[in-house]
Structure formats: structure tokens, C-alpha cells
Amino acid sequence: MSTVSGLFRSIPRHFPAVLALAVLASPALSAEKTKPAAGKTPAVPVVEKLTVYPSRLELSGNRDSRRLIVSGTAADGRAFDLTAFVKLAAGSDHVAIDRDGFVVPKKAGKTTVKVTVGAKSVDVPVEIKHVTNRPVSFIRDVIPAMSKVGCNAGTCHGAQKGKRGFKLSLRGYDPLYDYRALVDDLSGRRFNRSRPEQSLMLLKPTQGVPHEGGFLFDEKSRTYSVLKQWIAEGCRFDTAKRVARIEVFPKKPLLETTDSQQQLIVMAHFPDGTSRDVTRDAVFETSDFEVATVSKTGRIEAVRRGEAAALVRYEGLYAAAPVAIIGNREGFAWKAAPERNYIDKLVNAKLQRMKILPSGTCSDAEFLRRASIDLTGLPPTVEQVKLFLADKRPTIEKRNAKIDQLIGSPQFIEHWTLKWSDLLLSNSKFITEKGSWAFRNWIRRAVATNMAFDKFVYQLMTANGSTFENPAANYYRISREPKVVMENMTQVFIGTRFQCNQCHDHPFERWTQRQYYELSAYFAGVGRKAGPVKGEEIIYSLATPTDIKHPSTGETIPAAFPFSSDLDKKNPDPRVRLADWLTSSKNPYFAKSIVNRYWSYLHGRGIIDPVDDIRASNPPSNPPLLDELTRRFIANGFDLKRLIREMARSETYQRSFRPNKWNDDDSLNFSHASPRRLTAEQLFDALHVATGAPSRIPGVPVGFRASQIPDPKVKIGFLDMFGRPPRESPCECERSSDVSLSQTLNMINGPTVSDAIIHPEGRVAKLVAAKADDKTIVGDVYLAVICRPPTEAELKQGVAYLAGVGNRSEAAQDLMWALVNSPAFLFNR
């Protein structure tokens, strides 16, 4: 809060005197809420050189003001932000330094500002083009000021119903609405043009009259002067273009120590080519306050080693600066890690920057199990493990061959068919049982033929006709309302959550409420009628689409794209237009979101995570990696198999899950594999592969894999307990990967597990019947359950156990039971 009272509140009790003096002397800090954390008082680092950003200033107009950020480079090359310790002095009366430490123009001409830290100083040239008086703009000045103090926050007047009869659009997304609220509501109650300082909109936040929202700024603050000036100028509505883009400096703040801080500058760029420093009006947040905090004035303060994002919001635009805090890495030395393809290069670059050392390559057995489960949903069989381990070809060669083999296998098709059946909500509840088979088979064919992903989606979006004859049309049978179709489409295919902006603008993205209805309008022309066959539905395009109406104005909303509208090929059929736009290689989200989603399938975490919540405030952990994956995916014609192959072939994918000293706190940068609990179907299928018992699922033939079930209607308690999705929501989160007590008890003591282990046609029964020796039994059980041979010690222990129990069959079953309940089986790692 940039107020005088803010200053009093800000000085901590035990602040060292020296620094307290620095605080008082430094205008740059006067409005800061300083962190009083004991023992973390940052000393001014000793630096060799000062660097000021921007290196020169250009100011124009009486309302312009610019902030400087100052960085010092130490002898060892490490850089520290010194903005908080800087003394600024105007070189002449052409400029002044205001109480927030901003350089403000006073008269036209050229001058300098002296920037001093300790004994070092730099002169920054400043050019003042003019100091013309620009009237206060409602759009450019008033709304940002109100946003900054929080008038239009979701907890205040931006709430859906406003507060006490005064409602603003959430975070100022709708200037005309806000103008009407301030000026027009109740015949101008909230301003007083005759006596601006008597305006309710000034009296309330200054507590001149009672205000439930409390005291927000005083009469001397900049916010007050902006609002008052606007009223004094007659409360004009202007048609200033809103800001087109915001930019944050530094782009990738790197804080060397956990005492470091970094001031940010936010620049707003307008459509007319002008730019303004809007640091004071931007709203800052941190993505993770356990790693770094960001003050109201835009200063990042490190909390601990790690990564977070400084989230910046200004006028409905969002930007994020990835913050890296290095902390104490004494003794760290980067060692070149193997790089098999571009993925590894880009991952390692990030690791090196963050001073993280990746884990080594996983063993062949680990690789085989991991790749088999990720690519086909099934663990390898005993024979496959033996064969692979016996393969004497060089590691890379044989692993690559294995990947190709898995990708070409029928199990691969079943596995990815399941994934898409989940995401597309193939559910007999919506589309009849016959429909769910038809839809599944359509998806299956697409996977089997490796249909280009853009074509796959295009066919879904434009599907017409009988849901039985053209199963893709089931897409519109499952989601029956334009709004629902649109929500599902955006979440699955562009990885964003448009449902948030149904009632108000998206709280963390630039999407507006209006865009929600505009985008829904593309699906307003989908007709549905009963077909001649019982249970069949015909999807067709209506001659006159139904009206999509705005909920608060009642206005009919025409179809329009929320971004990249230049991709519209203007087809007369709105769904074709949508499909053209959506699946375009230039659509900035379409390819990126699927690449990110597939990455998460192989790594347990997206480069953007959650994968279906892409937004500016949820930045990727490694942007160059995601960009390059996307670029290649598009260049390769949206080839999903190829994408999977490239990912699986990387060293990054094949890293051990065991962390080392330099990467054990890393969960973002893929420096080691992350163990993931097997999904419900994987667990069920793996259990049957391991035990050799045939699976019996009601409604499908014996031996059918769980992942082949076309429809969640088939109730299997085991699968539901382990988080099989009911296919009612397109969110990835619908598939639960939670671990629960009932799961544990069921693994230990449940019928699914025990029936499989003791099955008379199962592995143990067959081994015992064949009178296999103890070593073979132990070896085979290890190979079957955890897909690797036992170590010497394990073998010895297993054999001793078998010998110690009278009943060999029961002893072998016990061994198998123990392994089934071990992390090596329950997790893909």
C-alpha cells in the first residue's frame, strides 16, 4: 500500500539501525512492506559493478513515471538486485523522484538520474519529451487504480452480487459496466462533480464515511489523486484502447541466495505503440509462497531454494516471471549428462541453470517395466523380461527397438483407446451400450491407424449423422448443450478451463465471460433427433442455430473466437469454422496442450501442470522444452506415435527414480523419474499378468483386460476403489491416483488379489504342479511380479522361506503376496 500509514506499519521493530537509515533515505523503499524476518536481514552484497535497467529513460506526459531496477555483479559473477538499497538523485529539476522511488517528469529536456549504492554510482540518462497534461482516462488510469487497491476483487465489489448494492466487474474486465456502476447507478450517487472530494467513491475507501471494506488509501495517495482528478474532469468515459500486452522485467528472475530479493518492473504496451511503466498498478502474487513472496510493489523475496512464479496481473492481462532461487549449492559441480535427443539438451540446460544434477540411467529391467506400463498399460511378461535382459545389443539400440515394438503392439492400441475413451467420456449412460461400443471402436481404429491428431479432432468436431454409423457423432450425443460441449472441448483440446468464465471473467486468465458465450455459440447449431434404429440419434446442423444469450444483459451473442481469430476460414457451418480454427497448426494451444498432456502420461507430471489448466498464471517449468516438442509435433504432422517415441527414447525418460544429493528436492525438472501408483486398470491387469490367473470381468469374455472395458457402467469394485474415472467430466483429475487405507487393506486382504494368487490355473499353481525347484519358483515369482530377477540375497531369502514352510504351494503364494504388496509392484517407477 503506497500510503504514509503504510510506511509506519512497515518499519519492523528489530530492524538493524543501519538498514533502517537506508530505508528512510531511500525513496525506493519508502512504501515497501519490509519483511522483518529475524536472521534474514539482507546485507548489501559487495559488488564490483552496477547495472541499471532500463539503461536510459524516456518520459512523456505529466502522468508518466518510471521505475529503475539496479543490479550489482559480485566478483564471482553472481548478480544481486540492489534496487532496495539504492539512492536516487535527480540531476536537475527536469525530473523528480517521488515517494515510491519513481522518476517523474517535470519539464521537457534532457537530464540524468544518479543511482548510488554504497560507493558505486551510475548516471542514467533521461529524456523528457514533453510534460503535456493528459486527462485521466477511465480505462487506463481509473480502473487500474481501483484494481490495485482491490475494489473490484472477488471478495469485494467484484463478487458476483457485488457488495451492498455496488457491483463492479470482477477485476475490471468490463469498463462500460464499471463506468455505469460508478456514474450511472442511482443517478450518479457515487461521484460528486461539484465537490469531487465529497464523492462517495473517495469517501468510502478513505473511511470518510463508514466502509465495510475498511480504509484503503488516504487523501495524499496517488490512487486518491487519480480518482479525484477523474471526477474533477467530469467523470468522462473514454474509448482508450485497453492495454494489448504486458511485459515483466527481469523476464527470468534468478535469486542467488535465500536472502536475495528482486524488484520487478511491469511494462504495459498499448495498441497505439506507446508503453507505460505500470508497476505501481499491477497486482502481484506468488505461485508458491513457500518458495518466494512477491510484495504489493512487485518485489520478490526468496524464502527457500526452489522455483516459483511471480504472477502479474494488470487490466485483465496476465504474465508470469519464473523465479529461480538457487540457495546454497556449495560443492555443486555440473557433470555432463547423456543427451540422446533434443529433449535431453533442453532438460539438462534447465538443470544446469538450477544447479541440479540428474539421476543416472535406470536399469534395463526398470526401463522395460516402465516403458511397457506407460506405453501399453501392461507390465512385461516373464518371458519378455528374460528375453530383454538377455539381449546383448547396446543399451540404446535395444531400448529403442523395444520402444518401437511396444508402440506397434495391440496392447498399445488398447491402452491409448482407454485414455481417449476416458477423455471423450464414452459412457453408455449417455450414448447407450451399443453406442459406447461403436464409439470405442471408432477411437480404437483412430489409435490403430495412428490417425493424425488434428484430423482426429476435426472429425469429432464436425461429426454428423447417425451415432451408430458415424460413431464420432457421439461426441455431440454425450455433451448436449452448446455450453457443455464448449467447456469439454476447451478443457480437452486446448487444455484450458473455460467453465470458470461462465459467470465472470476467468480469475487467472484473460478469458472473459463474453468469450465463454461467444465460443459456445459455435455449437448452438448442433441438431439432435431420434434415428430410425432404436437407441440411435442423428446429429445434424440446424438451419437456424439457437440463440446464445448473455446472462446479465440478455443480449444474443454471436460466435467469435477468443484468440487467433485470423485462423477462421469462414466456412458457413459454424462447427467447421470451429474445427478449422481449433486444429490449425497455428492455434497456440491445440498442439501444445496435447504434447504437454502426453508428456505427463510418461512422466507423471506435465511441463505445465495440471495439464488441463493452461493459463498465464500457471507457467511451464521448461518453456523451451515444451515449445520444441510442440514445434516438432506440428512439423511431423500431429503424429502421436512419433511423439511418444521421441519422449520414450530420451535419457530424461529413462532416468532412475532414485534421487541423488543434488536432485532430491526437485519435482519440477525431470531430473529423476517419479514413481506413480498404477492406475486402476493397470493394477488389475498387472495383477493378472503377474499371477497368471485369467481375469473375469462381468459382461466381457474371460481374459478381457480391464483396460478393454468399453464403459464404466460395468461395475468392478476393485477398479472403482483404485480411481477408475466415471467418465462424466473431461478433467484429467477425474482419474484418481490417491492412495487410501481401503486400497491398502484390499491389496493385503481382498478377494481380487488373493483369488488371483491362489487361482488353480495361476502361476504358483503351475510352478508347484510342475515340481519346479525353489530357485525357479523364487526367480519366476520375482520376474512375474516386479519384472526383474531377484538379487542374490533375495533369492537366498526366498529359498529359505520356501524351505521353512511345509506347504510349498502356500509358501510360494505368500512370497507372491508379499511382492504384490511391495512398492516395486504397486508403482510404476
Partner 1 sequence: MRPVTWKAAVLLAAAVLWPLNGWAQDDADKTAEGKTKPVSFYRQVRPILQRHCSGCHFPAKKSGKLLLTSYADFKKGGENGATFAPGNPTESLILDYISGDDPAMPLGADPLDPRQIDVISRWIAQGGKDDTPPAVKDNISAENPPKYSLPPVITALAYTPDSKTLVISGYREILLYAADGSAPVGRMVGRSQRIESVAVSPDGKLIAATGGTPALFGEVQFWDAATRKLVRSITVSYDTLFGASFSADSKKFAFGGADNGVRVLNVADGKQVMRMDAHSDWSFAATFSVKGTHVVSVSRDRAMKLSIVESGQFVDNVTSITPGALKGGLMAVQLRPGQEQVLTGGSDGTPKLYKIFRTRKRVIGDDFNHIRSFKPMPGRIFDLQFSPDGKQFVAVSSTGISGAARVYSVGDYDTPNINNKGGLGDVRKQIAARSAKSRLLHELSGIDSPVFAVAYRPDGQQIALGGFDGKIRLYDVKTGKQVKTFVPVKVTPAVAATK
Task: Verify binding: residue 232, partner 1, rule CB under 8 A.
Answer: yes
Question: In the stretch 238-277, what mask flags binding to partner 1 with x, by CB under 8 A?
Answer: ----------------------------------------
| Contact of 719 with 688, CB cutoff 8 Å | no
Task: Verify binding: residue 229, partner 1, rule CB under 8 A.
Answer: yes
Coil, strand or helix at 317:
strand
* 499, amino acid identity: Q
Task: Verify binding: residue 288, partner 1, rule CB under 8 A.
Answer: no
| Residue among 296, 323, 325 nearest 308 (CA) | 323
Coil, strand or helix at 808:
helix
- Single out the residue of 193, 528, 713, 775 in contact with partner 1 (rule: CB under 8 A): 193
CA–CA distance, 784 with 51 (Å, rounded to integer):
62
CB 557 to partner 1: min, Å: 16
CA–CA distance, 154 with 507 (Å, rounded to integer):
9
- Single out the residue of 214, 408, 535, 701 in contact with partner 1 (rule: CB under 8 A): 214
- Single out the residue of 16, 125, 154, 165 in contact with partner 1 (rule: CB under 8 A): 165
| Residue among 221, 56, 225, 53 nearest 127 (CA) | 56
- Single out the residue of 89, 176, 733, 803 in contact with partner 1 (rule: CB under 8 A): 176
Rounded to the nearest 10°, the torsion over CA 700, 702, 704, 709 is 20
Question: In the stretch 729-768, what mask flags binding to partner 1 with x, by CB under 8 A?
Answer: ----------------------------------------
CB atoms within 10 A of CB 778: 25
Residue 113 CA neighbour count, 13 Å, CB half:
31
CB atoms within 10 A of CB 93: 10
Task: Verify binding: residue 14, partner 1, rule CB under 8 A.
Answer: no
Task: Verify binding: residue 814, partner 1, rule CB under 8 A.
Answer: no
CB 78 to partner 1: min, Å: 30
Task: Verify binding: residue 335, partner 1, rule CB under 8 A.
Answer: no
CA–CA distance, 103 with 126 (Å, rounded to integer):
9
Grid coordinates representing 790 are 531377484
Report H helices in 391-512: 395-407, 410-423, 428-448, 453-461, 474-478, 482-493
Which DSSP string corresponds to 408-428? TSHHHHHHHHHHHHHHTT--H
| Contact of 149 with 211, CB cutoff 8 Å | no
- Single out the residue of 552, 740, 749, 776 in contact with partner 1 (rule: CB under 8 A): 552
Please, which of residues 614-653 interact with partner 1 by CB under 8 A? none
Residues near 107 by beta carbon (within 8 Å), at least 6 away in sequence: 93, 94, 128, 131
CB 61 to partner 1: min, Å: 11
Name which of 43 and 96 has its Cβ closer to partner 1.
96
- Single out the residue of 88, 146, 183, 443 in contact with partner 1 (rule: CB under 8 A): 183
Place of cell 500457471: 618
Task: Verify binding: residue 203, partner 1, rule CB under 8 A.
Answer: yes
Task: Verify binding: residue 155, partner 1, rule CB under 8 A.
Answer: yes
Name which of 198 and 411 has its Cβ closer to partner 1.
198
Task: Verify binding: residue 56, partner 1, rule CB under 8 A.
Answer: no
* 160, amino acid identity: Q
Of all residues in the chain, what percent are helix, strand and coil, respectively (each to 5)?
Answer: 40, 15, 45
Name which of 231 and 438 has its Cβ closer to partner 1.
231
Binding range to partner 1, per CB under 8 A, among 224-232, 311-319, 396-404, 784-792: 224-232
Name which of 187 and 544 has its Cβ closer to partner 1.
187
Name which of 432 and 513 has its Cβ closer to partner 1.
513
CB 138 to partner 1: min, Å: 11
Backbone angles phi, psi at 133, to 5 degrees: -80, 110
DSSP class of residue 174 equals: -
Task: Verify binding: residue 87, partner 1, rule CB under 8 A.
Answer: no
- Single out the residue of 60, 73, 225, 736 in contact with partner 1 (rule: CB under 8 A): 225
Question: In the stretch 106-145, what mask flags binding to partner 1 with x, by CB under 8 A?
Answer: ---------------------------x------------
CB 197 to partner 1: min, Å: 4
Grid coordinates representing 472 are 464420432
Task: Verify binding: residue 187, partner 1, rule CB under 8 A.
Answer: yes
Coil, strand or helix at 543:
coil
CB 187 to partner 1: min, Å: 4
Strand 317-325 to 254-255 pairing: parallel
Question: In the stretch 62-81, what mask flags binding to partner 1 with x, by CB under 8 A?
Answer: xx------------------
Name which of 195 and 570 has its Cβ closer to partner 1.
195
Name which of 144 and 358 has its Cβ closer to partner 1.
144
CB 189 to partner 1: min, Å: 6
Task: Verify binding: residue 60, partner 1, rule CB under 8 A.
Answer: no
Binding range to partner 1, per CB under 8 A, among 41-49, 194-202, 470-478, 706-714: 194-202
- Single out the residue of 17, 39, 77, 212 in contact with partner 1 (rule: CB under 8 A): 212
CB atoms within 10 A of CB 726: 14
Q: How does 46-55 read in b/e, with b if 16+ C-beta sit within 10 Å?
A: ebeebebbee
Residue 1 CA neighbour count, 13 Å, CB half:
18
Task: Verify binding: residue 98, partner 1, rule CB under 8 A.
Answer: no
Q: How many residues bind partner 1 (CB under 8 A)?
A: 54
| Contact of 752 with 722, CB cutoff 8 Å | no
Residues near 442 by beta carbon (within 8 Å), at least 6 away in sequence: 471, 472, 474
Task: Verify binding: residue 185, partner 1, rule CB under 8 A.
Answer: yes
Coil, strand or helix at 790:
coil
CB 85 to partner 1: min, Å: 22
Query: How large is the angle between the packed helices 640-649 and 623-635, nearest 10 degrees?
Result: 140
CB atoms within 10 A of CB 408: 11
Name which of 234 and 698 has its Cβ closer to partner 1.
234
Binding range to partner 1, per CB under 8 A, among 227-235, 404-412, 557-565, 591-599: 227-235
Grid coordinates representing 608 are 505445465
Task: Verify binding: residue 200, partner 1, rule CB under 8 A.
Answer: yes
- Single out the residue of 109, 208, 675, 726 in contact with partner 1 (rule: CB under 8 A): 208
| Residue among 543, 545, 499 nearest 523 (CA) | 545
Name which of 154 and 408 has its Cβ closer to partner 1.
154
Name which of 180 and 445 has its Cβ closer to partner 1.
180
Task: Verify binding: residue 450, partner 1, rule CB under 8 A.
Answer: no
- Single out the residue of 58, 123, 127, 233 in contact with partner 1 (rule: CB under 8 A): 233
CA–CA distance, 343 with 652 (Å, rounded to integer):
7
Residues near 525 by beta carbon (within 8 Å), at least 6 away in sequence: 541, 542, 544, 545, 546, 573, 574, 575
Grid coordinates representing 726 are 466415471
CB 179 to partner 1: min, Å: 6
Task: Verify binding: residue 308, partner 1, rule CB under 8 A.
Answer: no
- Single out the residue of 237, 430, 437, 704 in contact with partner 1 (rule: CB under 8 A): 237
**Using alpha carbons only, what angle is made at residue 291 by residues 286 and 294, rounded to the nearest 5 degrees?**
35
Task: Verify binding: residue 8, partner 1, rule CB under 8 A.
Answer: yes
Name which of 294 and 519 has its Cβ closer to partner 1.
294
Which DSSP string corresponds to 62-90? TT--B--EEEEE-TTS-EEE-GGG-EEEE
Where does this chain bind partner 1 (CB under 8 A)? 8-13, 62-63, 133, 150, 155, 165, 176, 179-180, 183-185, 187-190, 192-195, 197-198, 200, 203-204, 206-215, 218-219, 225, 229, 232-234, 237, 285, 289, 552-554
